[in-house]
Amino acid sequence: MTLQLALACHDYAWTQPLWDGRVEPEGVNLTAVDYPNPVRFSRMVRNLEFDACEMSMGTYLASRARAEEFPFTAIPVFPFRKFRQSYMYKREGAGIESPADLEGRRVGIVNWQTTTGIWQRGILDDYHGVDTTAIDWVAAGTEIIDVDIPDAYNVEYLDVQDNTIWVLQEKLEDGDIDGIFHPVDADVAGGTRLFPDAEAVEQQFYRDRSVFPIMHAIVLKDSVIEDHPWVVQKLYDAFERAKAVGLEVLDRPRELPLVWADIYADTQREILGDDPWEYGLTENNVTTLETLVEYAHAQGVAAEEYDVGDLFYTETLDTPYYA
């Protein structure tokens, strides 16, 4: 009997083959749907609307302290990763010349548990030497799951009903805040990147730390895992095949709508290797996840500094595991 499974996941180039049928999980009739972030996360957290869901790692880590209330478990498939120094913005004319100048300033964020924010605050503190407890944080959105923010951090929540990103951009333009830590590119009058050469900064960060920030993972309802443990392997394999299909275009850069696609592809391979999007608990992924857990725990998003192996279901999964 074929298992009917609903998957909520964005159709990235490396997951799109699951949407259009080029890749089909064995034994599974997969229905793929999408909602924008963070709607997808909220619908899974509050209503368990999907059998499998692309989930924010920050929200997932916040859920682990109340796992019975949030009966879903991640598998080591990471459909979205992103370096984050290039998404830190400052207000021109605010006198911010270096990252340390953010101390004592007001900086806007979407909310505290966004994975983007966890990485940005953690990297600023750990890698760039900024005291992030000395920054006045302004959160435009509510938390999907309540988190216990340490008293050392000063976080002001705005009562925002509209698009939080636009609200933060308006506040920067009005001079009410001095910076924005965005999950997406900001188009702000009077705003500029905190790191003018962000690409080089992110590349050096990877060379120094071997960390390509993981943003999202795939979670499955615990009931699906319990009733059909075999599906974990079939889904994992399907995501791997879809990724291989999606990344084939890097071998045909003339098909990409980028002027210097050949150079970009070669640079990526030189710095990150052939498969920077690798799945499984590989050595680099474990290093990255341990870093994220460390940051999330220090910031009160994760209730404890979890062992990475305990966060993912791997009992019926045959995949590389670095211990």
Mind listing the pLDDT tens digit of every residue in the chain (323 residues)?
799 999 999 999 999 999 999 999 999 999 999 999 889 999 999 999 999 999 999 999 999 999 999 999 999 999 999 999 999 999 999 999 999 999 999 999 999 999 999 999 999 999 999 999 999 999 998 899 999 999 999 999 997 766 677 889 889 999 999 999 988 888 888 899 999 999 999 999 999 999 999 999 999 999 999 999 999 999 999 999 999 999 888 878 778 788 888 898 899 999 999 899 999 999 999 999 999 999 999 999 999 999 999 999 999 998 766 54
- CB 77, CB 239: distance < 8 Å: yes
Residue 77: which CATH number? Answer: 3.40.190.10
Q: In whole angstroms, what is the distance from residue 20 CA to residue 16 CA?
A: 6
320 in a domain, yes or no? no
Number of domains forming the structure of the chain: 2
Last residue in a domain, options 209, 234, 260: 209
| Judgement on whether residues 38 and 95 belong to the same structural domain of the protein | no
Last residue in a domain, options 188, 209, 230: 209
| Judgement on whether residues 229 and 182 belong to the same structural domain of the protein | no
| Judgement on whether residues 220 and 78 belong to the same structural domain of the protein | yes
317 in a domain, yes or no? no
| Judgement on whether residues 93 and 195 belong to the same structural domain of the protein | yes
Task: State which residues form the domain around 78.
Answer: 3-82+213-311
| Judgement on whether residues 217 and 291 belong to the same structural domain of the protein | yes
322 in a domain, yes or no? no
264 in a domain, yes or no? yes
- CB 177, CB 106: distance < 8 Å: yes
| Judgement on whether residues 12 and 72 belong to the same structural domain of the protein | yes
pTM of the model: 0.96
Last residue in a domain, options 209, 243, 259: 209
Q: At a CB cut-off of 8 Å and minimum separation 6, what does 317 contact?
A: 75, 76, 232, 233, 236
Q: At a CB cut-off of 8 Å and minimum separation 6, what does 168 contact?
A: 108, 109, 110, 138, 140, 177, 180, 182
318 in a domain, yes or no? no
Model pLDDT, residue 119: 98
The two tokens of residue 319 are: 């995949």
| Judgement on whether residues 102 and 196 belong to the same structural domain of the protein | yes
